[in-house]
Amino acid sequence: MAAPGRLPRQSDLRLCQDAGFPAPRCPHGPTLLFVKGNQGEEAARRFYACSACRDRKDCHFFQWEDEKLSEARLAAREAYNRSCQPPLSHVQYVERYWKFIQLPLSQRKFCQNCQQLLLPDDWGKHSEHHVLGDISTAQLKRPSQLLYPLENKKTNAQYLFADRSCQFLVDLISTLGFKRVLSVGTPRLHELIRLKASGDKESGIKSLLLDIDFRYSQFYAEDSFCHYNMFNHHFFDGKASLEICRKFLQEDKGSGVIMVMDPPFGGLVEPLAFTFRKLMALWREGCDSGDSSKELPIFWIFPYFFESRILQFFPTFSMLDYQVDYDNHALYKHGKTGRKQSPVRIFSNIPPNKIILPAEEGYRFCSVCQRYVSSENQHCEICNSCTSKDGRRWHHCFLCKKCVKPSWTHCSICDQCALPNHACQHAEGGCFICGEADHKCRTCPNRSKHKKTVKAVRKQKKKKGTR
């Protein structure tokens, strides 16, 4: 079991949904009950930890399930939780915003240190800070470009959509005929929808942003933004925000709305799925149809290697080939090739043949699969499917009876395809180089040969990269 000073790796964690009483709270709302997945019966002691933060440096909350706390500790915790909340309420932030936009351009200032819009009475407190002046109305409509992105990938990573991907999503939503978008963790999409709506009254698309970043309270009214934690379905402003979300989802008896979600990639899939099901249930309450199988249309944006986990919770979803890219991420950029391509995809319960991907970016329609695929994703006649997941051309292994990545080869020890220099699964008790059980890899007679092979492979890859 992990010591209280550090949580286990998320691959070792297992979420427990059978807590017998209301969960204790941290600054991010109700905590979640976990158990370390690879522990025996005796060591499997359950504990509460922050729903949003997997690192104790970001949120130090930790409590064993059977731990009894004194009244003094509970009072201290409650005081600490209050101290971590935003300094002003959403209503107060909106009041400040209306005062701010009435100021002449020369008096509109924004403190980059405090990430705050400044009124004239605030200037003295920020005289030593880096302050931007002449904040235009256009800048106020694009707050994601004014605010510094939060970049903790496990908690609240704000890897903001590049204009290419954001425009594609807005055009796709419009083409599919949706009139409302519940934007969960997608501030840049929310911005672009509002910008299009203000410039084109006929488009008529509305958006409600749910995000854990309270700084957006400075720019959006209560009916446009809710301070929200998607890992535990917690509205920080309570029932008032929940009712705004309910009304938005159930407008027109639930028709014409789609939910678009872009969670932090380091987050656990299970609590996210649990939250999204609650939002889907909230939408279904207002539907005119009594059909319980009817689903809220969804775009879940997540890396392709989480496909099996997502399909485990949402079997009706399918993964699109479209590569989503981000402005402020070093790797997730459009136009890169090979393994450097963005691994981020769109998972949706909308039939894939209804989603047209742009031909100018190399996507084409596969008449057999009845969906749009990337140019490198070739149809395999044996698998009867376009099998590539990562944008590269995969090859069929007749021994594995499936298509595999181009860099993989079939291992006779593991009896499956893997990277050439992988550690064999069937050699856990012995040598992972040759597979024999009577010695370890450090005493393997083939060790020097194996090292040379690995070195040659790396050298060859380096040469290809240089070219």
**Domain limits, the chain:** 13-84, 90-135, 163-355
Q: Is the dihedral of CA 154, 323, 168, 346 positive or negative?
A: negative
Q: How confident is the model at residue 5, as a pLDDT?
A: 37
Report the distance separating Cα 342 and Cα 304, nearest Å. Answer: 10
* DSSP secondary structure of 349-403: SS-GGG-PPPGGGT-EEETTTTEEE-TT-PEETTTTEE--SSSSPPEEETTTTEE
Kindly give, in sequence order, each residue whose CB lies less than 8 Å from that of residue 411, ignoring residues fewer than 6 positions away.
417, 418, 422, 424
Q: What are the beta bridge partners of residue 345?
A: 302
pTM: 0.84
> Residue 266, SS3?
coil
Nearest to 171 by CA among 141, 194, 193, 202: 193
User: With b meaning 16 or more CB within 10 Å and e meaning fewer, what string describes 194-204?
Assistant: bebeeeeeeee
Nearest to 163 by CA among 173, 171, 155: 171
Decide if 279 contacts 300 (C-beta within 8 A). Answer: no
CB count within 10 Å of CB 30 equals 19
- Tell me the pLDDT of the chain (467 aa) as tens digits: 333 333 444 445 678 866 567 899 999 999 999 887 555 555 678 899 999 887 788 899 999 988 899 999 999 999 999 999 999 999 999 999 999 999 999 999 999 999 999 999 999 999 999 999 999 999 999 999 999 877 554 445 567 888 899 999 999 999 999 999 999 999 999 999 999 887 666 668 999 999 999 999 999 999 999 999 999 999 999 999 999 999 999 999 999 999 999 998 888 899 999 999 999 999 999 887 666 678 999 999 999 999 999 999 999 999 999 999 888 655 555 555 555 678 899 999 999 999 999 999 989 999 999 999 998 899 999 999 999 998 889 999 999 999 999 999 999 888 899 988 888 765 445 565 665 655 556 556 666 666 666 676 566 656 655 55
Q: How confident is the model at residue 329, as a pLDDT?
A: 55
163-355: CATH number? 3.40.50
Question: What value, to the nearest 5°, has the Cα angle with vertex 78 and ends 76 and 82?
Answer: 115
